[in-house]
Structure 1
C-alpha cells in the first residue's frame, strides 16, 4: 500500500453486514440447503474502499456504526487494509441477505437501517469535514440513506468536498440522487434504472442514454458514468462520449459490481477511455466472485480481457444490443 494520505475517502451513510447464500434454485415457500455462504462488510462506499485497498490504494471509510453488527462490520474490515472511521450512533448497523442461484439470479433482502438522529447526521458530516483536511484525491459518497437522514445528505457531502477542493463522486438513487446532482459532483455513477428514474423516462437506445447524461452535465455534473449491467457502461465527459463492454459472462453474483466499477474509475488516473475500460474490467471481475467479494489485481486483469472501448457509439443502437 502506498504511503501518505488516503487516495479515496468514502462515505457510506447506511453500511451493512452482508450475508450471502448460494443455492441451486430458489423456490418460494420451500426449505433450501445452501451450497455456499459468506459474510462481508457491505454498503456501496465500503465496497469501493475494499476494492481500492485490495489494489494497494489507501482508502478510508467513514460510516455510522452501532450495535453488535457494527462491531462485526469493523472487525470484517480490519484485515482488508481499509482505514475505518466510525461515527458512533445509538442504532444498530443493518444486516442484508442475498440469495444467489446457480444461473446468477440474485435476490436481495435489505433492511432499512438504523434511525439517524439530527445530531448523528451532523456528527457524520463533521467527521467528513475533518477527514478532508488530509487532502484525499477523491471523496466518494455512496449508497442508500437510513431512516431519519435528510434527503440531501449526499449533496451536503459533495458540498463539503467542493469547499475543500476535493473532487467528488456520488453513487446513489431516487430522491437522494436528484438532490446530489444539484450539488454538482465531479462524477456521478447511476445504473440504467436509476438514470431512467432520475430523468422520468425510458432510455432504450444509446442516444437516449447520451441525452440523459448530457442533461446531467448541463445541470452541473462532471463525468457521468452509466453502468449498463451486462451491456457494459457508457461514459460522458467534457471531452466526449464512449461505450465499453466485453464478451458475455455467466455471473456468480452481481452484488457490489457497480461499486467495483466506480472504484476502478477512481483508481485509474489515465485519459477518459482508459478510466472507462478499467471501470468495466473491475465490474466484470466482480460478477464472477461470490457474494459481495471484491476483485483483486489478478481478477481485474483477467476482467480486462476482451474489453473494448468505442468512441461516439451509434445513438440508434438499442442498449440491449450493445456488444464489443
Structure 2
C-alpha cells in the first residue's frame, strides 16, 4: 500500500483561455473545471488510477465543499476532522500551455489538529510500502512538521516503516533535508536552487547534478529533480541518470510534477530498477501535462514515445 499526506489540500480551479493572459484586461475563457487537489491528493489519484492500493490522508472539516470534489475523485481517504475549510487555488492556462497560478494559504491548523494529523499518518502507515508527504504546509504548523511526522512513523514502525518521499519546497524542504533523512525528495530545478541558495532554473544538467550530489547520499537517499520540458534527473548513491520526455501537446503543467512522483513510486512498488523508475516518472509527468486542469493520468494516458535514459555518473 502507498499512503499520501496532503496537509494543505486545495480545490483546484483551472480556467482555459483562447489566447495568452493579458494582465489588466477582460478576457473570455474557453472552459473551466474544478478538481480535488493538493500535491498528495494528485499523487494518490494517479496511483489509484493505476490500480494500486493507496490511502490519502488529509485534514477536512465536516461539511466542507471540498468533500464533494474529493468523492468524485473516487479515492480511498482518511479525513482528520478540523475546523477550517480547504483553500481554493486558481490556474490560468493559455493555448501554448503557459500556466499562471494563484495559490491561497489555506486554513490554520491548531496544535491539537496538527497532532491528530500526525497520529493519523502513523496509524495509516502500518504495513505501507511508501509514505508520500507532499505539498505546502498550512498556517499554524512549524516548518519541521514533515520531520516530526517522519520521526513519529519511524519510531512507531521501526524496520517495518515505509520508505518516505517528500515533495515540498522552501523552509519545509530545508528542514526535511537537514533533519529528516528522507528516502527520496522530488524538487524541481527552481526548488533545488532555492534549497542550496543558488539559481538553477534552466541550468544545465551538470550544474543540477553537482548540487544534488551535495545532498545525496549525505542527507537524502535519492533525489528526483524534474526539469520541465527538459526531462528529469535521478540521483542516487550508486549513480545518476537523465531522462528526456517524449513529444506531447502541453495543455496544463499543473500537477505534472506530482504525477512524476506517482510514476516513480508506482515503479518502485513494482520492483523496477532505477532507470525504469525514472522512465515511468517521465511518462506520468508528460501525461499530466497533456491533460487539462489537474486531472490524474491513467495508464491509458501515458505517451508511447521513446523515453531515452542516459547515465550521468
Bin the TM-score by the shorter chain.
Answer: over 0.9
Instruction: Please give the alpha-carbon distance, in whole angstroms, between the structure 1 residues aligned to 2:293 and 2:72.
Output: 18
1:27 alignment counterpart: 22
CA distance in 2: counterparts of 1:13 and 1:219, whole angstroms: 27
Question: TM-score of the superposition, structure 2-length normalised?
Answer: 0.93
User: In the TM superposition, what are the counterparts of 1:180-219 in structure 2 within 5 Å?
Assistant: 180-181=176-177, 182-203=179-200, 204-219=203-218
Provide the secondary structure at the position in 2 that maps to 1:216.
Answer: coil
Tell me the SS of whatever aligns to 1:82.
coil
2:9 corresponds to: 15
> What do you get for the CA RMSD once the two structures are aligned?
1.5
Of 49, 53, 61, 2:48 maps to: 53
After TM superposition, the structure 1 stretch with the greater mean CA deviation from structure 2, 246-255 or 94-103, is 246-255
- Per the TM alignment, residue 211 of structure 1 is displaced from its structure 2 partner at its CA by 1.6
**Could you list the per-position Cα deviations for residues 203-249 of structure 1 after superposition, in whole angstroms to 9, with x for gaps in the alignment?**
32322211211111243311110000110000011221000012443
Structure 1 partner of 2:132: 140
Write the deviation string for residues 175-216 of structure 1: whole angstroms up to 9, x where unpaired: 000001121111100000000000111332322211211111
Tell me if structure 1 keeps the 8 A contact 2:62–2:81.
Answer: no
User: How many residues in Structure 1 have an aligned counterpart in Structure 2?
Assistant: 302
**Hey, what's the Cα distance between the residues in 2 that align with 1:260 and 1:223?**
18
1:64-88 per-residue CA deviation (whole Å, 9 max, x = no partner) reads 11265x3x33332324342111111
Which residue of structure 1 lines up, in the alignment, with residue 169 of structure 2? 173
What's the TM-score, normalizing by structure 1?
0.90
Distance in 2 (CA, whole Å) between partners of 1:240 and 1:225 is 12
For 1:85, what is the secondary structure of its paired residue? strand
Residue 153 (1) aligns with residue 145 (2) = yes
**Matching residue of 1:312:** 312
Matches of residues 297-308 of structure 1 in structure 2 within 5 Å?
297-300=299-302, 303-308=303-308
> 5+ residue gaps in structure 1?
1-6, 314-324
Q: Counterparts of 1:254 and 1:222 in 2: how far apart (Å)? A: 27
Q: How does 1:18-97 map to 2 (within 5 A)?
A: 18-25=12-19, 26-66=21-61, 68=63, 70=64, 72-97=65-90
The unaligned stretches of length 5 or more in structure 2 are none
Contact 1:67 1:93 in 2 (8 A): no
Is the 8 Å Cα contact of residues 249 and 290 (structure 2) preserved in structure 1?
yes
Q: Map of 1:221-260 to 2, 5 A cutoff?
A: 221-260=220-259
Measured in 2, the distance between the counterparts of 1:132 and 1:11 equals: 10
Deviations 1:277-298 (A, max 9, x none): 0000000010000010111111
